[in-house]
Amino acid sequence: MKAEILSIGTELLMGEIVDTNSSYLSAQLPPLGIDLYWISTVGDNAERLGEVLARAWSRSHLIITTGGLGPTKDDLTRESIAQLLREEMVVDAALEERLRAGFTRRGLTMPSSNLKQASLIPSTQSLPNPRGTAPGWWVEKEGRIIVALPGPPPEMRGMWQEEVLPRLQQRSTGEMLFSRTLKTAGLMEATLDEMLTPWLSAANPTVAIYAKEDGVHVRLAAKARSQEEAQAAITPLEEKIRSLIEDYIWGVDDDSLEKRIGALLLERGLTLATMESCTGGLLADTITNVPGSSNFFRGGLVSYTNQTKMALGIEPELLSRYGAVSPEVAEAMAATCRQRLGADIGVSTTGVAGPDLLEGKPVGTVHIGVVDGHKKHITSHRFQPNRLSVKRRGALTALVQLRRFLLSQL
């Protein structure tokens, strides 16, 4: 099946936002055995959108559009599809009611311009959008499919996973690409590249290495006619690679470090508290992104000044002897939040996010503490001297160290 993606929106042509939707969707197609040949970006212009859509219709079996489903006059995706297929848009009573109910629930009156979001054409099934007001369209006609998705990435991804993916899976035949991603922390990209050299040039399954925000990923991919056939090709390879780097692997596929840690804590009936300086709340924020985190996360303290550290229970003498950015204070912070918030384990970060030196210590210095009342695990790090990356790498590394701590307890 030949596919094509259309990203719709003038803001994409103005460089105001990066088109992450296209790369998300591109990565979703190979496992379905769907070949993506073109991605086109076009603005909110009826003539050019119509042209691009007509060309896609003439050469692709599956057209996925993102954007242009909003309530304003600039949102032209529905109108353009209706025009291409020479069908008329009609307001659907059930959709209208659902749309109005959404506004009412939030205590709002629906502006009349939103009404077009409840419109359909005869060839369309509407796709529910629990995250926003714009339902998607699933259009089937003359052996071709158009899927119209909303532009905001959370709405687009949710609708893709819940509505579009299951429908496409049903139709998928022939060879598909299956992949398995091993997520590592603690190894450099180049080191992994050397360790895995013998497999990197193989044709099927393929092995590829990607440096990502949360560490380095190793991706094994096999072309096969079924999940079982792919599994048979990937499993022995995964075992060989695991035998080399098992200690560095923290998860697979769409695992996140915080989800894995949450599961570990729940499994053991342990609770967690945090005390952050340089990460400024990002560690607690990351942990509480996990649904159900209130079952293991007691809470966090963000102490952005020495005065606050003391108000929350850090000894003044410790701060004056070692400085706030020190392994000693990291340990005291981890112990303090653990005690104050009544948790089994305390985790802390203290460092220099910049732009300026602190206590003569360079930007990028971060100390991390993990304690449980019996054991402590204190580590020191030096990250790229950039405020946001110190925060991100600091929070990520705190999670990596917390995971090590939890596993070493076994």
Closer Cβ to a second copy, 72 or 204, answer by number: 72
Minimum distance of a second copy from residue 288's CB (angstroms): 3
Residue 233 neighbours by CB distance under 10 Å: 17
Minimum distance of a second copy from residue 123's CB (angstroms): 27
SS (H, E, C) 257-276: HHHHHHHHHHHHCCCEEEEE
Minimum distance of a second copy from residue 326's CB (angstroms): 17
CA atoms of 106 and 133, how far apart (whole Å):
12
Please write down the long-range contacts of 188-192, taking CB distance under 8 Å and 24 or more positions apart: 188/216, 189/216, 192/216, 192/218, 192/245
CA atoms of 9 and 229, how far apart (whole Å):
41
Minimum distance of a second copy from residue 410's CB (angstroms): 26
CA atoms of 141 and 50, how far apart (whole Å):
17
Residue closest to 340 by CA, chosen among 371, 370, 300, 306: 300
Closer Cβ to a second copy, 80 or 286, answer by number: 286
Closer Cβ to a second copy, 30 or 123, answer by number: 30
**SS3 state of residue 406:** helix
**SS3 state of residue 152:** coil
Minimum distance of a second copy from residue 106's CB (angstroms): 5
Minimum distance of a second copy from residue 297's CB (angstroms): 5
Whole-angstrom Cα Rg for the chain: 26
CA atoms of 271 and 288, how far apart (whole Å):
13
Closer Cβ to a second copy, 141 or 233, answer by number: 233
Closer Cβ to a second copy, 125 or 295, answer by number: 295
Closer Cβ to a second copy, 113 or 226, answer by number: 113
Minimum distance of a second copy from residue 87's CB (angstroms): 25
Closer Cβ to a second copy, 251 or 280, answer by number: 280
